[in-house]
Chains A and B, each alone.
Chain A
Amino acid sequence: GENVEQHPSTLSVQEGDSAVIKCTYSDSASNYFPWYKQELGKRPQLIIDIRSNVGEKKDQRIAVTLNKTAKHFSLHITETQPEDSAVYFCAASTQDPPSSNTGKLIFGQGTTLQVKP
């Protein structure tokens, strides 16, 4: 089955700096890669996602890159702000069954991002 590894587990940056979180996945059939942000005591919320037919996607200060050959994808946050402090999760989804458009969504272990003012 799919396995998703996420690094680092904690990340501390100064306000205004960039932050990068990396994930690797094991199943080459994975084709959907979302990122979620979870503030303390709250539900996870989608911040950006990318599909296997795209190499990069950007939304204001947030970008995600995907390298299918190496089976890894990364989240990039530029000009970080204190409100970016949260736990970030990557995830990977495979089609199950293969002919469907639904599947298991497997999450990484999470990265706690702290942005210091």
Chain B
Amino acid sequence: NAGVTQTPKFQVLKTGQSMTLQCAQDMNHEYMSWYRQDPGMGLRLIHYSVGAGITDQGEVPNGYNVSRSTTEDFPLRLLSAAPSQTSVYFCASSSTGGVGGQPQHFGDGTRLSIL
């Protein structure tokens, strides 16, 4: 099992460029989410999905789009990159069930720099 796979691992963009961060999981998890990690601010939820065709906003959704056409994939799109989006991005997935939630399985992260 690969678990949660994120690509690319590193990326440098220029302001105004667009790109898609890829996330795929092979655990048949219904729940997937994207976080950004900045120093001193922990992990902040960008968008999440409870199943194929269903997405919702997290704490910091502005400037990002998501879609969930399959159970396995949950790509994150930056429409027009800004320096404030320089961060480490983590994708996570979990099964559903239980009170409130289940343990999240994180990918290795994508380090994104916007110049």
Chain B residues packing against A (C-beta within 8 Å): 30-31, 33, 35, 40-45, 48, 50, 56, 58-59, 90, 96-101, 103-104, 106-109
Number of A residues, CB within 8 Å of B: 34
Which residue in chain B gives the minimum CB-CB distance to A33? B100
Chain A residues in 8 Å Cβ range of B96: 100-102
Question: Bound state CA distance, A91 and B42, in angstroms?
Answer: 10
Chain B residues touching A, majority SS: loop
Dominant SS among interface residues on chain A: loop
Query: Total contacts A to B, CB within 8 angstroms?
Result: 78
**Contact status B99-A51, CB under 8 Å:** yes
Residues of A within 8 A of B41 (CB): 109
Residues of A within 8 A of B30 (CB): 102
Q: A103-B100, A109-B42 are in contact. List 13 more A-B contacts (CB 8 A).
A: A9-B40, A30-B100, A34-B103, A43-B90, A91-B43, A100-B50, A102-B96, A104-B58, A107-B42, A107-B45, A109-B40, A109-B41, A110-B40
